[in-house]
Amino acid sequence: MSLILCVMAACNHYLSTLYQVGLPTGQSTLHYVLQCLLFTTWLSCRSGDRGIICVLRYRGWRYLLLALVDVETNYLYITAHQFTTLTSIQLLDCVSITAALALSCLLLRVRYKIVHIVGVSICLMGVGCLVWADIDDGRTLTGGKNQLLGDMLCLGGAVLFAVVSVAQELVVKTLDWVEYLGIMGLLGSILSIIQTAVLERDTVFLMPWGNWQVVALLLGFGLAQFLFCILAPAMLRDSGATALQLSLLTADFYWLMFGIFLLQYKFHTLYILSFALTAAGIMIYALKRTPILSQSQQPATYSAFSFPSFEESQKKEACQETTPLHLTWS
């Protein structure tokens, strides 16, 4: 997923620097449409309580809010790259880790142990080494049209990304990942197309559509984002939102390797140290699963859960009583 994120960053970099294309919402529309074509169609073939009509009736407004947050997260992140420096983005991205930790404790009742705190701390040390190397090279001390605005956009995007990750973890662990991807694809496509038509209509008309490089970069960005979104539920189901945020820190290292070979960045030994610390922190964090406090205050692990589906939860009350996670999306 970090490599896919690096591909997205590379496509966005070339679009904004070489071709002066600023289409933050439009760039993300393709992945919503692909998600809609595949998973919304899949969901439409279901019947009963797991069908698309029933899902929209009972949980549609929740998905609508989440889809709005997801669309704006992509918009803020892509726009931030146009206004601020890479160093600021690398630092402010760490806010998503803190937000994911807090939201997981409040909403999912996750209780972190010392090993998890140590893992997070080592990962943040790796980010510190990366930023130190950038400042030492003097490559990112200046730049950006409006650094304050870009920093605020990045900060907002980091917090919203944590909100989306925790909410998605809740859905895939209590309901169904096909339902999540199908409804988010449908509502995300609608919201993204509306926002593009309102805010970026002139940009779409003025884009050099005859240039195949621009079209290829837009397609590459959309396909990479689509792959990222369909892999995220598997990662969240097995590891959790905080582990996802930590793992994505390695995308900064891959981006720097990309910059060294193609953008003439200077190699710094701290890059290797940064990657080693980040990887070590992720492995230490993964040594123990994050326990959850059940209603009886007895710790359990995600791996021990057997979540009922929506229709089973309506028919079997006993299954609800034995499920440790009582905060459900339904």
- pLDDT tens digits along 259-305: 777 766 676 677 778 788 888 888 888 887 775 544 334 333 333 33
Average pLDDT, rounded, for the chain: 79
Q: Which of 326, 261, 268, 258 is nearest to 292 (CA)?
A: 326
What pLDDT digit, counting tens, does each position of 58-89 carry?
A: 888 999 999 999 999 989 988 887 777 666 67
Residue 276 domain-assigned? yes
Contact between 222 and 15 (Cβ < 8 Å): no
Number of domains in the chain: 1
Whether 309 shows a pLDDT value over 60: the answer reads: no
Residue 330 domain-assigned? no
Residue 321 domain-assigned? no
Q: Report the C-alpha gap between 178 and 233 in whole angstroms.
A: 9
Residue 304 domain-assigned? yes
Q: Report the C-alpha gap between 81 and 69 in whole angstroms.
A: 19
pLDDT (average), residues 202-209: 86
Residue 175 domain-assigned? yes
Which of the listed ranges 42-51, 117-126, 218-227, 283-292 does the model predict with the highest average pLDDT? 218-227
What pLDDT digit, counting tens, does each position of 152-163 carry?
A: 888 888 889 999
Residue 328 domain-assigned? no
3-state helix, strand, coil in the chain (%, to 5): 75, 0, 25
Whether 229 shows a pLDDT value over 70: the answer reads: yes
CB burial string 255-280: b at 16+ within 10 A, e below: bbebbeeeeebeebebbebbbebbbe
Share of residues in the chain with pLDDT > 70 (%): 80
Look at the block and give the residue holding tokens 């169904």.
176
Residue 323 domain-assigned? no
Q: Residue 305: which residues within 8 A CB-CB, separation 6 or more?
A: 173, 323, 324, 325
CA dihedral 171, 174, 175, 178 (to 10 degrees): 50
User: Which domain does 149 fall in, by range?
Assistant: 1-289+300-316
pLDDT (average), residues 81-105: 77
Q: Which two tokens stand for residue 83?
A: 């206004």
- CA distances (Å), 167 to each of 36, 106, 107, 227, in order? 19, 12, 9, 19
Residue 235 domain-assigned? yes
More confident of the two residues 308 and 145: 145
DSSP per residue, 72-83: HHHHHHHHHTTT
What pLDDT, on the 0 to 100 scale, is given for residue 227?
94
